[in-house]
Amino acid sequence: MTQSATGSNPSPFSSLSVGPITLRNRFIKSGANENMYRKGFPTKALLEHHRDLAAGGIALTTMAYAAVAKVGRTLPDQLWLRPEVLPDLKAITDAVHAEGGKISLQLTHGGSFVTSIFLPHRTISASGGLNLAGLFHGNILQRPMKEKDMALVTQQFADGARMAREAGFDAVEIHMGHGYLLNQFISPLSNQRSDEYGGSAENRARFPARVLAAVKEAVGEDLAVIAKINVADGVRRGATAEDAVVTAKVLESQGADMLVLSGGRNVESTWFMFGSPMNQEEFAKIFKYKPLQRLLMKAAAAGTPKGLKFREMYFEDYSRKVRAAVTLPLAYLGGVKSLDNAEKAMAEGFDAVAMARVLLHDPALVNKFQDGSVRQSGCTSCNACIPQIYNQAGTYCVLNEPLDPAMNEVRASGLS
Ligand SMILES: Cc1cc2nc3c(=O)[nH]c(=O)nc-3n(C[C@H](O)[C@H](O)[C@H](O)COP(=O)(O)O)c2cc1C
């Protein structure tokens, strides 16, 4: 293993074992909704996006938000896992492998967080009641999951992982953060259950851990099983860093191969997730003809602390607490913008760094870090990329050339 110049810390360019797989370096592309799907099929744009990231030196690129059930989507065109999409997924994993990279599929279920689709029945969640996230599309009420719902969703995650294996993925990342279904169990903000799945932090982590165990059993010999968790929700009455420590321990005991440490919730604390305010001007442009969506974005920004400014490594203090409590590999995430940041993360005992915005800005950043031509990303942390998840051509950095919309109309496999 290559050692860094600063002593015994691993170099960010050294290899890393994560369960059954080995990463060529310690840089991970964090899942960032690409909006490169049509009618639930991955497009050529998605293939090119992940190919570019692999060619640009990333060890593991994460394909964002693959819903394990049709009702688990949050957006109408979003991927949901079913046998028909396997040729498209295979085309993408092949393209990444040809560039020497590895690829992970983010498995998720929105639960009650279904912002842009109407479901003709109450959405499922940890608890029942009014569903804030569903207000504008008529998903007004949510219901608490019963045992048979939990058994079904657990099965859907395991089946999703099997499909990921069949399509050639190297890893799956179970999304347990950001306010999606599994996070709705972990967070006391959305979990008011009085059974063994509610109450203490251990109990709130029980259902996500059950899903992880089922996924491990389904594919754990072949694929790395990663979980993305919140180091905190960043909102009053939400999960704290102490809760995150408990969740991490529970997942470690269930055999998670690595945790990616994130934070914040899509509705209540997006600012916390990104360590900076949302770009309302860019949202206003994207939702020019959608006044309700503009209103929703404004409402979601209401809790943003006044004067909040982006700061590199903004989850450092929280993530250190998790690092101190567990021994499994951890990927630091949140505001990694330079090689110095990555080296600092290694020095603090993190095993990898996961990055999103800087790689939307420059998919070849890792190669440039490695050849010494760049030490600091040119990303301005303007957050204009975030509203682009609604851009017809796909998510992109506004400092770069616009994407070709035609690439986002053809299936990744070329099939029609
Ligand atoms: C455009 C965009 C879309 C995102 N979509 C997702 C997503 O689908 N799933 C997810 O887990 N995180 C998503 N994220 C959050 C990132 O994975 C990451 O947690 C966040 O950007 C902080 O990392 P960074 O400072 O390296 O950008 C998204 C981020 C961006 C910028």
Question: Percent of the chain, pLDDT > 90?
Answer: 89
Q: For residue 415, tell me if it sits in a domain.
A: no
Nearest CA to ligand 1 atom 21: 356
Domain residues for the domain of 230 are 16-264+312-408
Mean pLDDT across 300-312: 92
pLDDT greater than 80 at residue 212: yes
pTM: 0.97
User: Looking at the annotation, which residues are catalytic?
Assistant: 180
pLDDT tens readout for residues 168-183 = 999 999 999 999 999 9
**pLDDT for the residue numbered 297:** 82
Q: For residue 86, tell me if it sits in a domain.
A: yes
**pLDDT for the residue numbered 7:** 60
pLDDT greater than 90 at residue 117: no
Q: For residue 386, tell me if it sits in a domain.
A: yes
CA 50 to centroid of ligand 1, rounded, Å = 15
pLDDT tens readout for residues 128-178 = 998 888 877 788 899 999 999 999 999 999 999 999 999 999 999 999 999
**pLDDT for the residue numbered 5:** 43
SS3 27: strand
Nearest CA to ligand 1 atom 23: 334
Nearest CA to ligand 1 atom 25: 335
Label the pairing between strands 141-144 and 171-175. Answer: unpaired
pLDDT greater than 80 at residue 39: yes
Q: For residue 272, tell me if it sits in a domain.
A: no
pLDDT band at 292 (very low <50, low <70, confident <90, very high): confident
Distance CA 158, CA 181 (A): 15
Q: For residue 301, tell me if it sits in a domain.
A: no
Distance CA 410, CA 52 (A): 18
CA 192 to centroid of ligand 1, rounded, Å = 28
pLDDT tens readout for residues 42-61 = 999 999 999 999 999 999 99
Q: For residue 138, tell me if it sits in a domain.
A: yes
Nearest Cα to Cα of residue 386 among 240, 259, 276, 258: 276
pLDDT greater than 90 at residue 290: no
- Tokens 């360019």 belong to residue: 13
**pLDDT for the residue numbered 4:** 42
Q: Is 64 in the pocket of ligand 1 (CB under 6 A)?
A: yes
* Closest atom of ligand 1 to CA, residue 385: 1
CA 123 to centroid of ligand 1, rounded, Å = 24
Which residues in 223-251 are b (16+ Cβ under 10 Å) and which e? Answer: bbbbbbbbbbbbbeebbbbebbbbbbbbb
Q: For residue 165, tell me if it sits in a domain.
A: yes
Nearest Cα to Cα of residue 248 among 198, 156, 319: 319
Q: How many domains does the chain have?
A: 1
Q: Is 355 in the pocket of ligand 1 (CB under 6 A)?
A: yes
| CATH at residue 103 | 3.20.20.70
CA 64 to centroid of ligand 1, rounded, Å = 9
Mean pLDDT across 307-314: 97
Q: For residue 298, tell me if it sits in a domain.
A: no
